[in-house]
Amino acid sequence: GAVVSQHPSWVICKSGTSVKIECRSLDFQATTMFWYRQFPKQSLMLMATSNEGSKATYEQGVEKDKFLINHASLTLSTLTVTSAHPEDSSFYICSALPRTSGATDTQYFGPGTRLTVL
């Protein structure tokens, strides 16, 4: 149980195009999802917190208009990288906090999406 999927697993796009990444909780509902970014051999950096039915909360330094986040349902959050540029190339990982997490606070991570912008 507690599986999170991401689609696509990898994507290559041209500079200036937009890319949408989906994050789904397959067997549980998640009121909160998180988006992280990870550069090679580095740690995960939180980009934004996504709550179902409300606007995402972005971390300092993350451009809201660049990284559009939508959390339209309890099982789906999307991250759209708009007008992507080579510096946006990275590994994007989502995580989901089950609606009934209670005392455990366990977040379940997706497998990540490798974005390469040419």
In the complex, which residues of this chain contact other proteins (CB under 8 A)? Answer: 4, 6, 32, 34, 41-46, 49, 91, 93, 95, 97, 104-112, 114
Contact criterion met (CB below 8 Å) for 10 and 114: yes
Q: Which is nearer to other proteins, 4 or 81 (CB)?
A: 4
Residues 57 and 26: their CA atoms lie apart, in Å, by 23
Q: Which is nearer to other proteins, 46 or 68 (CB)?
A: 46
Q: Which is nearer to other proteins, 19 or 36 (CB)?
A: 36
Q: How far is the CB of 42 from other proteins (least distance, A)?
A: 7
Q: Which is nearer to other proteins, 46 or 74 (CB)?
A: 46
Q: What is the dihedral of CA 27, 78, 62, 96, to 10 degrees?
A: 0
Q: How far is the CB of 53 from other proteins (least distance, A)?
A: 17
Q: How far is the CB of 16 from other proteins (least distance, A)?
A: 26
Q: How far is the CB of 101 from other proteins (least distance, A)?
A: 8
Residues 66 and 81: their CA atoms lie apart, in Å, by 6
Contact criterion met (CB below 8 Å) for 108 and 32: no
Contact criterion met (CB below 8 Å) for 115 and 86: no
